[in-house]
Amino acid sequence: MEFERRDAPFLTPKVDVASIMRQVLYAMIPALAAHVWFFGPGIVFNLIIASVFCLGSEAAMLKARGRPVRPALGDYSAMVTAAIIAFALPSLTPWWVTATASIFGIVVAKHLYGGLGFNIFNPAMAGYVVVLVAFPMHLNLWTAPRMGDIDYQYPTIIETIRYTLTAALPADLGFDAVSRATPLDQMKTGLSNMQTFDEIHNNPMMGSFGGRGWEWVSNFVALGGIWLMLKKIIRWQIPLGVLAGLMIPSGIMYWADPGVHASPGFYLFSGATMLCAFFVATDPISAATSPRGRLLYGAGIGFLIYAVRRWGSYADGVAFSVLIMNMAVPAIDYLTIPRIVGHDKFEKWHHKSRT
């Protein structure tokens, strides 16, 4: 009898890239729901726009590079980029801002570097930084979170759609009426105006750690992240690195002088800390690769986030920190090669042939 020939191993792997990416998307669903609850339906429109442009640029680039389009679109990696961009942008964002971030992320940061697996920079963060620099005004328009006791006029769904399409607010609503400084912004301006941390934190917009509403979105992001860790889609090193890298310096500063420094808890549950720790920094392609390297990589990001928030001119520093550490990855990888079993234990090697 004749048989087919194959290479060992003959057991088949149970995982694949598409299922990993799909689970990353599932893990964002609770945070998406929280985001809609606190900041309105804007993120949904952003997500749709980002998905259209991410998938569109992905398909166009694959075609231009002469690669098969269908299997690559089916790996959901462009969808993950779209989702992260949607989470990074304010809920009220004109479509061209979202589109620019998506196109730059996929075309330049991903495909010009060789496509999936070869990109040095996190595509979503590269795209986000471009619009942060190019459209600073639009990136500052964060609405206030939905809190029963705050007197604030929330844009309706129709108004949100109109703003997304045209960047035009209703005639009776000025820019200032809609936008609210984010908790990180308030902290930054407050501290630079010589207010103490407690003073700023007593503002009704502040919650138990970060801003009210904001911290709840963070909680749900972290929940999704922990689920991914339990599913072993992401490992603990990078999230722990980011959180510790942020907590340790902020903790030391806060402990040294609690008046002029924000508490580590505030930093952990504000801005995009959790999104970064569980969904952005954990992008394996642009991260360091050995377990120790990942801890170091995460810690670097965490520390840089703190540095930007405390001393930089931007309120949040996630995107910059991630991109800077992306650049450090080759060096980290080189410095953290694990000791191979059987090496560096014996000075004298016995050069014998193995059988």
Partner 1 sequence: MTAPTFDLGTLHGGLRLPILKDESTAQVIQHVPVPAQLVLPLAQHAGEPAHPVVSIGERVLKGQLIADADGIISAPVHASSSGKVVAIEQWPVSRRLGENAPCIIIECDGLDRAVHLSEPIVPFEKQSPNILFQKILHGGIVGLGGAVFPTAHKLMEATTESLEHLILNGVECESYISCDDMLMREHATAVVVGAQILLHALRLDHCFIAVESDKPQAIRALADALSEVQDDRIAVKQIPTIYPSGAEDQVVQLVTRKEVPTGGLPTDVGCLVQNVGTAAAVYDWVCKGEPLISRVTTVTGDGVASPMNVKSRIGTTVADVVNFIGGYTDRANQLIIGGPMTGRSVTTDRVPLVKATNCILVLSASPQIGAEKPCIRCGDCAQVCPVLLLPQQLYWYACADNEPKLRSYGLTDCIECGCCDLVCPSHIPLTADFRSAKLRMRELADEKARAERAKQRFETRTVRLEREQLQRAHELLKQKEQVKKAGPKAIEDILERSMQPSEPDKDE
Name the residues that contact partner 1, by CB under 8 A: 1-13, 15-20, 71, 75, 77, 115-118, 235, 284-285, 287, 289-291, 294, 333, 337-343, 345-346, 349-352, 354-355
| Closer residue to partner 1, CB minimum distance, 311 or 346 | 346
Least CB distance to partner 1 at residue 129 (A):
22
Distance between CA 211 and CA 146 in Å, rounded? 12
Cα 174 to its chain centre, rounded Å, is: 30
Nearest alpha-carbon partner for 77 in 92, 93, 95, 62: 62
Nearer to partner 1, 118 or 255 (CB): 118
**What's at 238, amino acid-wise?**
I
Contact 90, 141 (CB under 8 A): yes
Considering the complex, state which of residue 11 and residue 230 has its C-beta at the smaller distance from partner 1. Answer: 11
Q: Whole-angstrom Cα distance, residue 333 to residue 320?
A: 20
Nearer Cβ to partner 1 (70/151): 70
CA terminus-to-terminus distance, the chain: 32
Question: Smallest distance, Å, CB 300 to partner 1?
Answer: 17
Helix (H, G, I), strand (E, B) or coil at 179: strand
Whether omega for the bond prior to residue 71 falls within 30 degrees of 0, making it cis, is: no
- Min dist. Cβ of residue 321 to partner 1 (A): 20
Taking the complex as a whole, the smallest distance from the CB of residue 347 to partner 1 amounts, in Å, to 9
Side-chain half-sphere CA neighbours of 117 within 13 A = 3
Minimum CB–partner distance for residue 280 and partner 1 (Å)? 15
- Cβ proximity to partner 1: between 107 and 234 the closer is 234
